[in-house]
Amino acid sequence: MSGRRFGKPFLLAQKSDDVEDALARELKTRLLSLEFVEDQWRIERYRLEFRRMKSILTSSPRHVPYEAAKAWVQAQNMWKTQEEWWDWIASGEKHTFYIPSDPETHYRRVGGWEGWDVFLGDNI
């Protein structure tokens, strides 16, 4: 009787438990590897975002050449004096980042500055 009690059905049940355990271990291993891949992907994403932000923050602003800036300023015909320019910059209204806020300092450094009267077009 005891042999019948632990016969084929018991072995099948034992095998199915082993299979279930093996499948559970395999599933857990795969899930952990997927989590690892997902974590690696996130780490790389953050690394790239950090690298991009660092390059943006450490790069110097891109300004147009002096002649182009002068042409744009004169085409706007909004400023006659240096004080009007500084008031406009202080207001922040429609300021373009391609034209330096302090054109005198920037264009003296890179070359081409001819003075406020020439820059603003008031050299009549």
User: Which distant-in-sequence residues (6+ apart) come within 8 Å of 112 by Cβ?
Assistant: 65, 66, 67
- pLDDT score for 84: 92
- pLDDT score for 62: 81
- pLDDT score for 18: 78
Among positive and negative, which fits the CA dihedral 75, 81, 84, 89? positive
| pLDDT class of 11 with cuts at 50, 70, 90 | very low
Give Rg (Cα) of the chain. 36
Mark 62-83 as b/e (b = at least 16 C-beta within 10 Å). Answer: ebeebeebbeebeeeeebeebe
Q: State the pTM of this model.
A: 0.51
**Which of the 8 DSSP states describes residue 81?**
S
Q: Convert the pLDDT of each residue in 30-83 to its tens digit.
A: 777 777 777 787 888 888 998 898 888 887 778 899 999 999 999 988 899 999
| pLDDT class of 16 with cuts at 50, 70, 90 | low
Q: Bin 95: left if φ > 0, else alpha if -120 < ψ < 50, else beta.
A: beta
- pLDDT score for 60: 74
Q: By the 8 A CB rule, do 121 and 73 touch?
A: yes
